Chain A
Amino acid sequence: MNDVLEKPVDTHKIREILNANDGARIKTWLSICSRCGLCAESCFFYLTNNRDPRFSPAYKFKSTLAEMYRRKGNVDRDFLRKCYDIIWGECTTCRRCSMYCPFGIDIATMISTARTVCQSQGVVPDGLERTSVNYRETGNQMGMSTDDFLDTCSWMEEETGEELTGLTIPIDKKGAKYMYCLNAREPMYYPQDIGMAAKIFTVAEEDWTMSSTGWEATNLAMYAGDRALAGQVVKNMYEKAVELGVQNIAITECGHAFRSAAFEGPYFAGYAGGKPPVAVVHSVQLFYEYLRDGRIKIDPDKMLTEPVTYQDPCNVSRNGGLWEEGRKLTAFLAKDFREMTPNREHNHCCGGGGGFIPMGPEFKKRRMISGRLKADQIRATGAKIVIAPCHNCYDQINDLNKEYNLGVKVLSFKEIICETMIVPDKFKPVEGDDEE
């Protein structure tokens, strides 16, 4: 990003973005904020940075987006550089502050708008910019080719098929009930995640499919502030789902992918009515339904006996509405469950959201400082296992585990379900089969 700091600022473009976003909500929010300061205590950045008032949510939008409007877009590189530190380095757009503001001001939306302004000038974290290049070229954040993806799927089908007879990973199956969409890190680095999902779908006897394109559910362009690209990313997925005529899009255990696909995507992609063309379901909901309806049964002898806590990913709980489903699902799997405080929709961000994890080493120190709150929360539960149905929470809590010596193991629901579920005999491989 450093080379763009030399380029002149295109204030015309900035004004254009500011005008396009200058609706009733932003006008109202900017004008009625009464500077009461109640938002400060809601923010984990504020709480973990010695209550430095510069970390309060109100200060963050006042010194960025509000200032852009006040100067009518006439800002310089220095200003944008300062904004960069605040809007990417001090906010994960977790939206907790909106619940603590007397006026319900949606500060995260304003921070996102400020990100769009900065992004238009090339001021964007390198880690996110790299994923944008990949999204443009390949439709997924890892830059994985379709061939590599399909190879990974068939490799997983083969490998997991040895454990579960009849397991298949259908590709582009028309009219399936669920089109299962992924985080590109899964085929790239954690292919066993695909295998585990396939096992769960197989045992649940689900009518599911993966898709050869549009399988990427993450949308880091949303966090980079590149709304046009963010729209393209979700469009790839929506259009593929419509083309295949599937009934639902199922999202892997990733938080922001769900936020993008179910809530913000339709706006980025310009769908009237603000709803995706195909219903979107998160894994937490889907897995919970499997267990609730007895489609998957858990072996009581294999249930987790160690103390377990549940990390409410912001984009699954507060911004996804699935905090109870997450708990009910956990109850099927663990005998000793312990709540963090606060929890459910009032949970704190782990510090890995809003693009922080892919933003990489440049932001790691801040991520560890702000993550202290989550580390303390986890430690206070005495849990040995943290369930995190979100890739960013997963990575962040693993980092916090090392940084703060928490001595915990981070697991996804997929991992636990695969370890504990009862596999009906018909799926059990016949002994001696592999000697053929």
Chain B
Amino acid sequence: MDDLYAFLIGPALWVAFIVFLGGLCLRVAFLYGLSKDRDKVIYNHADMSWGVRSIFHWLIPWGSVSMRNQPVFTLMFFLFHICLFAVPLFLLAHNMMWQEAFGISLPSMSDGTADILTIVFLVSFVFLLARRMVRPEVRILTTAWDYTLLLLTGIPFVTGFLAYHQVGDYKTLLILHILFAELLLIVIPFSKLAHIILFFFSRAFIGFEFGGRRGARTW
């Protein structure tokens, strides 16, 4: 078990980070090359001001008509995304490991804050999961893979939370925590989760297309 742990925080972690960052870069580079050839409409009407506003209004809560029409979903949706980013990036334990490995770290939050954010995350997670199952217009679109990806974002939080609070077998939970977090990182570039970066491109385009060409707001 110790070997497995050593593997997971050693070579496997490197692989996960490289695949995550490299995969996203390759995907963007590939799409960029393809767009130069086949999507001239993007560049013909590029308008940075509209592109930036198209992105910005969807990055702030209730910043678009669509979000204001569904206020509760929007709240949960933002809590989900904020916690999903903030907890792993600013967790003290993670930053200590980065300090050790690379000599750099980000500012970190207290463990108490991390606990609260984790619980907030899990509440939003359950909400999104339930919404997927209950709302007909969402359920009809949802595939097994969508559930898998959603679960994959949740497992590292649950296992990390339980391990920290020493509920259950610490070592096992920690291994599961790292394993699933790495799996998630590896899956991101090759799935819909690549929207963490592609979001900016698709939003910019629709900003050009509606705003740049017609002055219509897409928010």
Q: Which residues of A contact B (CB under 8 A)?
A: 20-25, 27-29, 31-38, 40-42, 46, 51, 53-54, 56, 58-59, 62, 95, 98-106, 263, 267, 273-275, 317-321, 345-346
Contact = CB atoms under 8 A, between A and B. Distances in A.
Interface string B30-51: 0110110111111011000000
Contact of B199 (A32, A36, A99, A273): A32
B92 interface: no
A104 B199 CA distance: 9
B158 interface: no
Interface residues of B, number: 53
Nearest to A266: B44
Contacts, number: 143
18 contacts: A20-B38, A21-B38, A24-B34, A24-B201, A25-B202, A27-B31, A32-B194, A32-B198, A34-B146, A38-B66, A40-B137, A51-B137, A53-B136, A98-B206, A99-B217, A105-B202, A319-B216, A321-B213
Interface of B: 31-32, 34-35, 37-42, 44-45, 54, 58, 64-66, 69-70, 73, 77, 132, 135-143, 146, 191-192, 194-195, 198-199, 201-203, 205-207, 209-210, 213-219
Given A24-B34, A25-B39, A31-B192, 7 more contacts: A25-B41, A31-B194, A35-B143, A59-B141, A98-B206, A103-B202, A346-B65
Contacts of B214: 263, 318-321, 345
A56 B202 contact: no
B11 to A, nearest CB: 29
A95 B66 CA distance: 14
A32 B195 contact: yes
Contacts of A320: 214
A28 B31 contact: yes
The 4 closest A-B pairs by CB, nearest first: A104-B206, A23-B38, A24-B35, A321-B214
B139 A99 contact: no
Contact of B66 (A35, A58, A102): A102
A15 B210 CA distance: 30
Contact of A28 (B136, B140, B143, B198): B198
A317 to B, nearest CB: 8
A46 B141 CA distance: 14
B218 A274 contact: no
A12 B199 CA distance: 33
A104 B141 contact: no
Contact of B65 (A40, A99, A102): A99
A290 B127 CA distance: 55
B130 to A, nearest CB: 13
A24 B198 CA distance: 10
Contact of B139 (A31, A53, A321): A53
Contact of B40 (A56, A98, A274): A274
A37 B135 contact: yes
